[in-house]
Every structure is written in structure tokens, then in C-alpha cells.
Copies of this chain bind each other. A is one copy, B any other.
Amino acid sequence: MGTTKTEHFTDKQNATASMLKALGHPARIAIMEFLITANHCICGDIVNEIPLSQPTISQHLKELKNAGLIKGRVEGNAICYCVNEQSISDIIGYFGNITNKINQRAGNCC
């Protein structure tokens, strides 16, 4: 117990859940928004921008990276982060599909 039973679900369902889970924390939403708003890659400003400790930010960045939502590039002794635009397209694609299915069907009773 305590563990998600991923084996009952499709790969696509697990992959989708895992992307959205990575975005399911306000600090990670804030990091994504910061990276996007900043008009360029961010090297070393993230810790100053978000009021959490450096290890905590580093951990959140790792999770975003594992989920494929951001990319990192080593730049001297700093690391430049930016959004993986493909991942955002994938998410939009997913919800676009959902919307199409909603629009195609008969209608709700609730």
C-alpha cells in the first residue's frame, strides 16, 4: 500500500498523470511560469526568485526535469534552465483531444 498501482493503467495514462503530477505543486508552477516569462533561459536566478531553500528548489527542478517539462544546460559553473516546449504541446494536445471528445458526445445529465 501507499504505492500507486500503475500496472492497472495504460502507458499513456501513466505518462499523462506523471506530467501533470509534476505540475501539481505551486512551487513547480511558479518555476515554470518564471522560466516562460523570462524571455530567455535562466541561469542561477531561480533560487533568488522563489522563497524556498536552495536544496528544495533543486529538488523541484529535478522533478520537472524527470517529467520532461524542462531542460537544463551546463553553462560554466551555473546551469541554464528552460521549458521543454514539446512537453507543453503534448499537454495541450491531450486536453484538446479531451475537448473534442466532450464536444462530440450527446451531453451531460449533471
Contact = CB atoms under 8 A, between A and B. Distances in A.
Nearest to A33: B13
A42 to B, nearest CB: 10
A13 B36 contact: no
A98 B20 contact: no
A46 to B, nearest CB: 14
Interface size range on A against B: 35 or more
A27 B91 CA distance: 18
B72 A105 contact: no
Contact of A40 (B29, B98, B105): B105
Contacts of A20: 20-21, 23-24, 29
Contacts of A110: 41, 71-73, 80-82
